[in-house]
Structures are given as structure tokens and as C-alpha cells.
Amino acid sequence: MSKVTLKDIRLREYTLENLGLLGRLRKDLMRTRPEVCIERARHTTRYLRDLSSDDEPMETRYAKAVAYFLSKKAPLFFDDNLLAGTTTSKPFGAPVYQELTGMTIWPELDTISTRGKNPLILSREDAEELNFEIFPYWMERNILEYTRKKHNNPGCMRLFERIVFFLASKAGTISHTVPDYRKVLAKGIEGIIEEAAAREEDVRRKGADTPDNRHSIEFYQAVQIVMKGVLEYAANLSRRAEELAAAETDPARRENLLRMSETCARVPAKPARTFREALNSLWICQVAVHAENINMAMSPGRLDQVLYDYYRRDIDSGTLTVGEAIELVGCLWLKLNDNTNLVPETSEELFGGAGTVPAVTVGGVDENGEDAVNDLTYIMLRVTELLKLRDPSVNARYHYEKNTEEYRDRVAEVIVNTKAVPAFHNDVVDIKVLENQGTSTEHARDYAVIGCVELASAGRSYDASSSIIFNLVSALELAMYNGKRPATGDEQIGPQTGDPAGFSTFEEFWEAFKTQLKWLIGEAIKLNEYFGRAHQEMLPTPLLSAFFEGPMEKGRDLIRGGALYNSSGATHIGFADTVDSLSAIEKAVFMDRKCTFAELLTALRDDFRGHEKLHAYLVYKTPKYGTDDPIAVKNSRNLIRFLYDFYQGHTNYRGGRYRPGYWTMTNHAGQGKLSGALPNGRKAHKVFASGITPASQAAGDLSACLKAVGGLDGLCIPSGEALNLKYPHVNGNGDIKTFAQAVESYFRYGGLHVQFNIMSYEELIDAKKNPEKYPELLVRVSGYSAYFKDLNEAMKDEIITRTAYDLGTGRAVPFPEEYRSMLAYE
Amino acid sequence: MLEKILNWLTLRPLRMRILRRKFLKCLESEIAEEFLEMLLRFMSLAFLLDRDFRRNIEDFNGRYLFRSRDNSITVAVVFKDNRMKVYEKNLEDTNVTVTFRNGKALMGYLLSPKPDILGSLLRQDVTFNGNLNYVYKFAYMAKRLQLMATGEI
């Protein structure tokens, strides 16, 4: 039976004008400049350095450090938001995770406030505290240096530090996952503490004489310790709100502060009873998770499902109106924007512009496989449509056999109205993908999106989906240059697979390429395993673990394999450029004999200068991924299959398999800038295509493009894919219908994910030239949203040059002649 | 008081002014061959003269080796006992070894307000072997020195 009771699923009567609070809060957020917040670094360092001993087991010691911070964390109320709790001590803060990558900003302490790209305000006093008090303690103790020392600066780490081969995200994160907030809403933190205490007692009765039991006892103790820290923070919020209410003269504000005080006195300690309590409980837990773990893609999950019962109960009892629910959900959306990442200027230049990407998932089917769309789904879509914010990254699941067309078309309409969000996910294939990874059908149906596009059975699966970011082009170049790369000069990096000039068939080159891939991926996996073990020793996660199914039952921290399901994700950069280059080599060198391999390499080294005829041939006459050319289809499918088989053959330190995915955030722009010319005609230092998207301007027909991408075996893409499409405009209901039907067709071909930018080449070019005219222009990058103005120049160019399709004809819109120099092959 | 007398007797303030001028000139030069030498001399003296700046090396032990790629320059810098010592020789057991293409490249890495990051990566202008946190600390001190020299702090 449908759970949709709204008369108007568009909720058109609710606007930012008549929801004054949301309008005001949004305006404040947009004009607030980000600041570095050292509160967490200060308190965790003080505890670990001055108040604890190296002899203590790390599980309880770290729990005490996080609890200490939570108890000292300032209870702040910056604005009139209806939810209490802040991620940092600043209205818009970038917390310092000094044990991860926080120390990379050390050289910039005097200049970060004034740097060119995405400056962050840092006070003189805070900079001095970081320089003199905090960073020195961590010089040998952050995850990178701990690992380096332990493994004697291994080769895989030195490869990672060259940047151009792969990135190992674990140096900077325990993140990219979906906690289970249902549990805390249902039983409260006190219930979790009681459970941990009872389980600790059980293990004690069995005896603490085995290492496993000892660890279990420490884990249960750690959960109790850290959860008490969460309770202290909530109690401090309650007290402070009461104090502020007493001094407040504005009646509405006073009322709100009193309600927050009451709410925080109740939750998250106890089970939530109302929609408002559930939202605030969830938000305080999200804040607490970031007290322990970095703010990268820590995703709240299926909020329309998690919060639905509370919503329904309040609506039915008449204690909540739809308008109030919209306001509360809007407050949560705004709260999820109260923090940003702390990254050095180099990262901003190469990869900048990302938010913290807490993904929210709506729609799809429930655990029984039935339509899960409810009133709250539409409320969340309306809030997304009204606020047009970078975060949360909203993802709409669509099951074409179970969800209604009405829902599908409404999601499409919100995309058109925001020009970018939400992203569409294919329930039919996504569920099969997870089942194929060993997830039970019920759990697979209850999947949520992590960060960009990755899939997780919410609160049951710890996937660390961004563990490896692998540059496929680097392996291709190693094969082309016999184990060397132009970007790293004459140094022998990979195995010597032979001078391809001596190869007589494409298959020989394909074998060389696979050899380089296997070697390089092997190095990336080796480093990820080192980092994973270091995390186990240094940075346990008892707080996050308590919000998962598995760790409490097993008595084992998440980072030690406590979750019900485990995996590590590896995403790939340069997929389309690699496939097109393979196809170009096959066609140009081995089939058409247009050039020898040696001649091709000479042309690449010259960046095609003096080789214009060959360049034109490579660009216009060789097979392109995203078309129905059989060579392109074969090479794309072979590569996907090979990577899947290779990764799945590796088991991680938590006992889960490695999962390949194809989403690139902004890495395809940065890595493209660091790479030489390629056989597909892409010139040196131009951006790569994003995610699993065909190279810009390579796939001229929308239908063929959707068939080609959808035709890739989704089961071989268990860590998700990002297909980026662009329409210059979608006009009226007829176009929206066509738009939504195209998505459904793509899903029926087998595609997992698609996201859109509804904007023309001209509009984007103008936004690049005149950023002041487009301060809030939201775009989809490759799995997440960003404000266009915050992106680096390369990333802006990539979004501008992405193929735009005319929805009516399905043909690519010609790129403006006067800007052709922006294209990757020009 | 004793420190002030010692500074005056050894003409440190005067030497500091001269070095500051040379350092700034070096920063503006196209080649900056002498950048590392200038930086280290200026830094050494700044630690002696400026109590606030000296706080950076209180209780700090660090062993650095700076080496040009062609091996024409090899300089060891040791921070110990609240002092900075510079040796023109190789050094074992360093916390980090910094290899640079030339003085300009090293300067660009440490000090440029608009560093050519992509170019630097592509050319492998500066590479490191060892604990990067020591590089970050040194880069912070170098940057601070530059801001002091230009009067921005």
C-alpha cells in the first residue's frame, strides 16, 4: 500500500518566502566564510599528550580522548536553526584532523587566510597553538609517518607520494561509510551503553585470558567511555540553550531555545519520541561521529526511511504539520553544511572544490522489495529543490518495476529546477550488485549511497569505498613506455614489459598493459593494507562502531572487521581516455597500419605538433567509448572485467574483498593536468573524462552513449559509477517526461547511476568568465555537487566541455567554435 | 640583557639587516642559485636574534639533508639543543632528505605565494625521502622568515 498521502507531491505551497527561517539561514550560510577550527585538535592532543599513557590499550585510550573532547566541546548556538549541535566551534568550520592529513597545512599557517584558492580564516592565536603546541606532538604520530616508519618507507608509499600513479586515501581518513542511526533513535545512547556493559560482562564471565576476549572487553569499555562523551556534549547543549533562553528577549527565539534545551535533555540519551527529537538525535550523533572520524563522506543514509515512523506518528497525532516537517528537514540540510574540509593549497589547485559529501538517500524499495517512497521522500525532495545546497549530496533511488512514474518524474523535475541534484540510482541493478558481493537480499534492498555513488547496506557494511584512487592512464603509459612514464622521467617505475614497437599484435600490448595494471594495483593494495593495519593499531573507532550492526555483536571494532559486511573500494581515473587509447592503438597501429607504435610515441612526445594528420585520424577515425563501435565496446568491457576479477581476488585487512568503481570526484582534472598526450588524441595536460562518462565530445548520440555505458556489466562495478550528462535546457512538463524516460531507458540497459547538469556551454563559459554573476551556481562534478566558482580552472573546463545533448533530437549540441581550444583534443 | 650585549658585540643586528637585504634580492632574482645558502644563513641569525622565531626550535630535534639533483650542493641542517647548525657535508640518519633541481625550484616550493604546483610536480622539481612533517615544519619557518623579511609580519 502506498505511503504517499500528500495531495501535492510537489509541495508547491511551501516556498522560501513563506518558510522565512530557511530562507534566512540559507542566506547566512552563503555569506559565511569558512574558518579553521582547532578545537578538536586542541583537546584530543591535550588528552593524549598530557592526560594519558602510551601503555594504555589504544581502544580505550582513544575513546577517552574523543570523550574528553566531546565533554569540552563548546555548546554553541550561532543562529536560529531548530536543531542543536555544531560540528565545529565556528559557524562554518574546517576541523583539523592532525592524526590524518591535518598537518599538511603547517606551511600555510601564516597564509591560509589569504591564499588564492578557497581561503580559510585562521586566527593568529590558533595558528600559534597549532605550530607550537599541537603539530609538534604529532610529527612521528600521524598515520602516514607511523606507517612509513613501521615499514621503512616502502616503495608503495614512495609511489603514492609521486601523486601521478594512485592516491591512498587511508592516509587521510576513516570515512566513506553509512552509520546506522536507526539504532540510536530506537534505544538511545543509554541503551547502547547498557548493551556494551552487558556484553562486556558476558565476555568477562567467559574469561579475559585470550587476546580476542581481551580485545572485546576493551572494545566494549571503549564504547561505554566514548558514548558517555556524547551524553556530556548533549547535556552541555541543553544547559547552554536554557541559559540563552533565560537571557533572550525575543519570544520566538526563547521558545526555540527552550525546545532545544528540552530536546537535548532527552536525546540522544534516550529513544526519540518525536520527529524533532529524532532529527536532533541524529544530528548530534553525526557531530559525534566527526569528533572521532574525519568529515569526508560520512553519510547519514536513507533518511526518508530512518525518520519516517517519527514523522508519520507526529502527523497522525496532529503535533506536526507538513510545513513544520519541511522546516525541520531544511534545518538538518543546513546543519550538514556547517563544516568543510581542511586541505592545503596544492590540493585545492589540483582537486579543490569538494564539500564534505554527506550523502542522503531517498526512495527506492524497502527490505521486502516494495515501493518505499513516502511523504517524507517528497518533503526531502522539496527541501533539496528549495535550498539548492552543495551538501547533503542527495541521491534518489529508482526501481523501475516498483516505484511510480510520478516519483520518477518528480525526481527529474527537482534536477531540472536545481540544475544538478539529486543523482539517480538504479535500484534493480544496484541490489543485484550487492547481492553478488554476498549481501543478503533484504540487506541489499536497504542500501544507501556513500559519499559520491558507492553502495552500502546502510549501517551493516563498512566499505571504506575511497581507499584507492587509481589512475588508469598511468598503467597505460607504463605499458607504452616499457615501465616508465613521461611524468616521472627516465626512472624505471613498473616492470619492463617490452618496447611496444616490437609488438606484432594488439593482444601483446593488452598483455603488457595488464601486467602493468596488476603490478601497480598490487602496490596500491599493499599500501592500503599497511594503512589499514596502522589504523587498527592507532585509530580505533569505537564510536562509529557502536552505530553499526556487527561490532557490538562480535565485540570487535569496525576497523578490525566488526561490521556485518566488509570491503575496500578502489575507484578509477581516466577510464574513457584509457579505453579510447587502447582502441586507437588497436585500430591505428595494428589494424589500419596508419602508423607504427614508434611513430605514435613520437607524436605523443611532440604533443602532436608536426603530426596533425595522424592527430586528426586518431581523434575522428578511431573507435570511441560511448558509441556502438564494436572495438570500443570490446575494450571497455574487457577492462571492466579484468579490473573486477583482479580486485576481487584480493582480501583486505578486515576480511572483505576489494571492489572497483568508476567515479573521480575532481581527480580526473588534476591527474589530466599531470599527464602527457594520449593515443586517443587527447593533448598533454588536458583533463581526463570524468567517472565512467565517455570523453567529452566523443559520443555524439545520446541513445548510443546510454547503451554503451549501460551495457557494461554492473556486477563488475560494485563500488559504483558516475555517469555525467548535460542538457542545455529542459523546458516544461513534456521535456521533463522525456528526460525521465531517458533515465529509465538507461537503467533498463543496465546503468547504475546518472547525474546531470542542466546548463548550456554558453552559460558555463559565462560563469567561468564572470564568477560574480553566478555565486551559487551548483554543478555536479563526478559524484558530488560543488559551487562552480570554487572549482579549479581545469575542473571548470572539464564541466564546460562535457558533451551537451539536445533532449529533443538526442544529438550532441555543437561546441562553440570560438572556445574549441578548451577541448581535450585541441 | 646578556643576550643584547652579545648581539651588539657580534654585530648581529647589522649582519641581520645586510642578510635581509641579500635574502630579499635573492627572492627577486631569476636564478636564485644562492637561495638555500641565503635562507639558511638568514634563518640561523634570525634564531639568534628573534626570541619569538627561536621558539620554533625550542626542544626540537631535526636532521635535514638538502641536496641538489646534480650533487653540486649538499647541505646538512641539524636542529638540536635549541640551536640550528649548518654543515656542508652529507649526513646519515636524517629525518628527511630534500632533493631539488635548482635553487629556484626549491625557493618556488618553499616560498612562492603562487607556487607553480603542477609544473613543480611535472618536473619533479623537489622530491623528499623521509618524514614529510619535518618538511612542513621547515617550510613554515622559511615562510615565516620571508614574511618577516618583507615586513608582512
- CATH number, position B49: 3.30.1050.10
Question: A794 φ, ψ to 5°?
Answer: -65, -40
Question: What single letter denotes the amino acid at residue A60?
Answer: T
pLDDT of residue A305: 98
Tens digit of pLDDT for each residue in A745-788? 999 999 999 999 999 999 999 999 999 999 999 999 888 889 99
Beta partners for residue A450, in sequence order: A454
pLDDT of residue B20: 84
The CA distance from A585 to A623, in Å, is: 10
For β-strands A468-471 and A565-573, DSSP reports them as parallel
B52 touches chain A (CB under 8 A): no
The percentage of chain A sitting over the pLDDT mark of 70, rounded to a whole number, equals 99
Tens digit of pLDDT for each residue in A151-162? 999 999 999 988
Contact flag B139-A106 (C-beta cutoff 8 Å): yes
Helices and strands in chain B, H and E counts: 7, 5
Question: Which positions 112-141 of B are in contact with A (Cβ < 8 Å)?
Answer: 113-115, 117-118, 121-122, 124, 128-134, 136-137, 139-140
Asked if the model's pLDDT at residue A695 lies above 80, the reply is yes
Using a CB-CB cut-off of 8 Å, the residues of chain B touching A139 are: 131, 133-134, 137
Residue B116: pLDDT band with limits 50, 70, 90: low
B14 touches chain A (CB under 8 A): no
**How large is the average pLDDT for residues A428-441?**
98
3-class DSSP state for residue A213?
helix
Residue found under cell 649538499: B74
**How large is the average pLDDT for residues A418-425?**
97
B147 touches chain A (CB under 8 A): yes
3-class DSSP state for residue A360?
strand
Asked if the model's pLDDT at residue B5 lies above 90, the reply is no
pLDDT of residue A769: 96
pLDDT of residue B102: 87
- Residue A135 near residue B129, CB atoms below 8 Å: no
Tens digit of pLDDT for each residue in A79-108? 999 999 999 999 999 999 999 989 999 999
The grid coordinates listed for A788 are 562552480
- Residue B114 near residue A116, CB atoms below 8 Å: yes
As a whole number, the mean pLDDT across chain A is 96
Quote the minimal CA–CA distance from A148 to chain B in Å: 8
Which helix H or strand E contains A37, and what residues bound it?
A: strand A35-37
pLDDT of residue A162: 87
pLDDT of residue A554: 97
pLDDT of residue A745: 97
List the single range of A199-203, A326-330, A635-639, B149-153 with lowest mean pLDDT: B149-153
Quote the minimal CA–CA distance from A619 to chain B in Å: 25
Question: A650 φ, ψ to 5°?
Answer: -115, 135
Using a CB-CB cut-off of 8 Å, the residues of chain A touching B132 are: 144-145, 161
3-class DSSP state for residue A724?
strand
List the single range of A26-35, A666-675, B28-37 with lowest mean pLDDT: B28-37
B93 touches chain A (CB under 8 A): no
Asked if the model's pLDDT at residue B4 lies above 80, the reply is no
pLDDT of residue B105: 86
Residue in chain A closest to B62 (alpha carbons) equals: A139
pLDDT of residue A666: 86
B144 touches chain A (CB under 8 A): yes
Question: A619 φ, ψ to 5°?
Answer: -70, -45
Residues 6+ apart with CB under 8 A from A562: A219, A462, A545, A548, A550, A551, A554, A555, A556
Asked if the model's pLDDT at residue A237 lies above 70, the reply is yes
- Count of structural domains within chain B: 1
3-class DSSP state for residue A492?
coil
DSSP labels, A299-346: --B-HHHHTHHHHHHHHHHTS--HHHHHHHHHHHHHHTTSB-----HH
Tens digit of pLDDT for each residue in A279-299? 999 999 999 999 999 999 999
The percentage of chain A sitting over the pLDDT mark of 90, rounded to a whole number, equals 91
ipTM, two decimals: 0.92
Residue A58: pLDDT band with limits 50, 70, 90: very high
Segments forming the whole domain that contains residue B26 = 2-149
List the single range of A354-358, A816-820, B94-98 with lowest mean pLDDT: A354-358
The CA distance from A350 to A343, in Å, is: 11
